[in-house]
Structure 1
Amino acid sequence: MLEQYKTIYEGGIGEIVEKKSRFLAEVRLVKSEEEALRFIEEKKKQHWDATHNCFAYVIGERRELVRCSDDGEPQGTAGRPMLDVLLGEELYNTAVVVTRYFGGTLLGTGGLVRAYSKAVQAGLAASRVITKYHGILTEIGIDYTGVGKLQYLFAQNQIPVMDSQYAENVKMQVLLPAKDAEQIKKAVTEATNARASITDVKELYFAVSEGEYLLFDD
């Protein structure tokens, strides 16, 4: 699993106008090439009367699937600049379709490159982009005398407590960044004189967006 990567949580639509040509950029999360192709076909059907429906997408843990299309624009003036924006933003599992409605004025090669790049940037600005981190949801069991020490430890290390159960003992589910997990577990053991039980519940990805913790199975 990647330790972290940027992707789309909620896609968006951005629009720019260049010399009366409208460029509509729609961004979407895609986890397979089949999803990307369905998205592109959907946009082509929706904007059947457009001059061009250009696209770019980046898919895979190593971004091994990278495709783009100029859809009739001069070669290299649309799809590649769109793809360059996605790659430059280091996005994973992301597709974008830019629909152009021609306004009657030719933009030239440089103008097209700038317009398609700006359109994708507008689409990304309208989207909710997140960074996913590899994490481990871990359950910590402790007697009541050790709760305060653990709460202090977690606060100092910015470890969120996702759930707490108070019974004969206390059980807390905490979200540990995978890269720091062993270090935090060692600190828990030391802080409680080895009285705490530590059980990994599952590996996952998490993100923090708008002050909210988001959990993902992939």
Structure 2
Amino acid sequence: MNAYKTVKKESKTEFIINRSRFIGRCFPIETEDQAAAILADVRKLHYDASHNCFAYAVGRNGAASKFSDDGEPGGTAGLPIMEVLRHKGITNVLCVVTRYFGGVLLGAGGLARAYSRSAADAVEAAGIVQVKPGSEFELLIDYDQYSRLEVFLRERTNIIGCDFSDKIIIRIILPVEKESDFIAEVRERSSGRVKAAKICERYMTDNDKCG
């Protein structure tokens, strides 16, 4: 598992140049099939558009990638969109720029700048997040131990689940490289009464928390 950057959420931006309307969209994706399905939906939504140009990158360092000019002059649409993704260093992302032609030719340079701007605006609106390898743990805590651990858990981990019943069950995730120190500190703070059971390793972001 290796860290990578991607977009936080879906986004949509829009602007008009010389009466041509450009609509930029970004989507976080996991597979090429997902990219194809989303692209099909965008094409259905904008069935009357002049062009639906796109670029996507999937996998480590964008190992699987594809772009399309969708009828625009070669190199003026899909490649500028892809260059934005590469410049931002993001993967697992699809960017689609829809154009409604306004009757005024923009020229090759003008088209490339417009598609690049639309893609950059969409990426900025979506936001970029660092995704990194994480370790997920479950802790079974007696109520009399909770006060010793609560602040530590909230400050040093991402809490992703809490269940208050006979005992308190807390699920957390933290970066893989911090798990050894975490286990040792839980043991020390609870005088050995609380054990952190590792559930799995998975990717995480700083948004992986619920409280």
Contact 2:137-2:173 within 8 A present in 1 as well: yes
Report 1:49-64 matches (<5 A): 49-64=48-63
RMSD over aligned Cα, in angstroms?
A: 2.7
- 1:177 Cα offset (Å): 2.3
Contact 2:20-2:101 within 8 A present in 1 as well: yes
1:104 aligns with 2:100: no
Residue in 2 that maps onto 1:5: 5
Q: Equivalent pairs: percent with the same residue?
A: 30
Summarize the Cα distance change of 1:145–1:97 in structure 2 as closer, same or farther, 3 Å threshold. closer
Residue in 2 that maps onto 1:165: 164
Residue in 1 that maps onto 2:209: 213
Deviations 1:149-173 (A, max 9, x none): 3224324425437314353x55433
Distance 1:127 1:153 in 2: 32
Which blocks of at least 5 consecutive residues in structure 2 are unaligned? Answer: none
Contact 1:16-1:122 within 8 A present in 2 as well: no
Contact 2:159-2:172 within 8 A present in 1 as well: yes
Deviations 1:38-81 (A, max 9, x none): 33333334434332221111112342111111223222221111
Which blocks of at least 5 consecutive residues in structure 1 are unaligned? Answer: none
1:148 aligns with 2:147: yes
Contact 2:62-2:91 within 8 A present in 1 as well: yes
Give the TM-score of the pair, scaled to structure 2: 0.82
Deviations 1:125-162 (A, max 9, x none): 44365443432221223445543332243244254373
Aligned length: 210
Give the TM-score of the pair, scaled to structure 1: 0.80
- 1:82 Cα offset (Å): 0.4
Contact 2:136-2:201 within 8 A present in 1 as well: yes
| Structure holding more helix per residue | 2
